[in-house]
Amino acid sequence: MKIKTVTLNDGVEIPVYGFGTFQIPADGSTYKAVREALDLGIRHIDTAAAYFNEQEVGKAIRESSVPREEIFLTSKLWLQDHGYEAAQKGIETSLRKLGLDYMDLYLIHQPYGEVPAAWQAMEEAKRAGKIRSIGVSNMTPKIWNRFVPMFETKPSVNQIEFNPYFQQKEMRKIMAEDDVRLEGWAPLGQGNSAMLADPCIAEIAAKYHRDTGQIILRFEIQEGAVIFPKSIHPERIKSNMEIFDFSLTDEEMNQIRSLDTGKGRHNPDAPGVAEFLIGAFDVHSDD
């Protein structure tokens, strides 16, 4: 099965469905899961410096039989590397750990601190061919309006929390003005049991003989999001992909749209978030 791609605002094509590696440990588990995903036909892999598993992701890509140019790889710059020179070093560190010549997409992981200077370094790395596309993550309307007007080029992607219970309607309107693609993290609500058991979603799932997770992922794809659900279980990786042989009706899409609560698990605008995050990880602890 070939997963369809969409074209970003800079002309780069990105597969709409990928594989996320957040919280998969670097004890061989990440390597094994990425190889499994690639073997199943997934061609989009998402990692980050702060996931501490870039080395295993890169090793899995290098040792796969899939040609590098057929794989879309994302990594992300952590807070400690914001600023111009720090971001340059952060980009080089990710490339070294991955063991790859370029990254397909590189994001500002948490948008606090010296974001414009970091963005400038990312723009330069893109011009140098080290990165094909650049974007941001966890930007709210407030944060977007603070930083993005200072950028020379617009982001191609904003990777944000997105699922039926948190549909990011205000942020999506702003992004649509510049054709910025939404990438949804926590597409299954990080295992949100209430959402996975929601009666509305369950009724639709029964009609299509699917599980509720598959209905949720199908909804997100039809909403235009790029998604990358995570699992270390081969059977779950496979079943999560089984969403391309059916479509939800307009009525069913509207039913799921009505489930939006307008709130997520993470609020990037909350006081103290930046301070907490910069103290949470030291991405250079193993350098």
What DSSP designation does 3 have? P
Cβ atoms 41, 3 nearer than 8 A = yes
- Dist. CA 160–CA 157, nearest whole Å: 9
Distances (CA, A) of 131 to 9, 96, 128, 135, 137: 15, 13, 8, 11, 16
Instruction: Give, for 96, the enclosing helix (H) or strand (E).
Output: helix 84-98
- Work out the angle at residue 251's Cα, subtended by the Cα atoms of residues 250 and 257, and round it to the nearest 5 degrees: 90
Phi, psi for residue 113 in degrees, rounded to 5 = 80, -140
Distances (CA, A) of 196 to 191, 199, 274: 7, 9, 30
SS3 75: strand
Establish whether 31 is a catalytic residue: no
Q: Which residues lie closer than 8 Å to 209 by C-beta, 6 or more apart?
A: none
Q: Which of 130, 54, 48 has the alpha carbon at shortest distance from 98?
A: 54
Cβ atoms 145, 112 nearer than 8 A = no
Of the residues 17, 31, 51, 112, only one is catalytic, namely 51
Cβ atoms 226, 105 nearer than 8 A = no
Residues carrying an active site annotation: 51
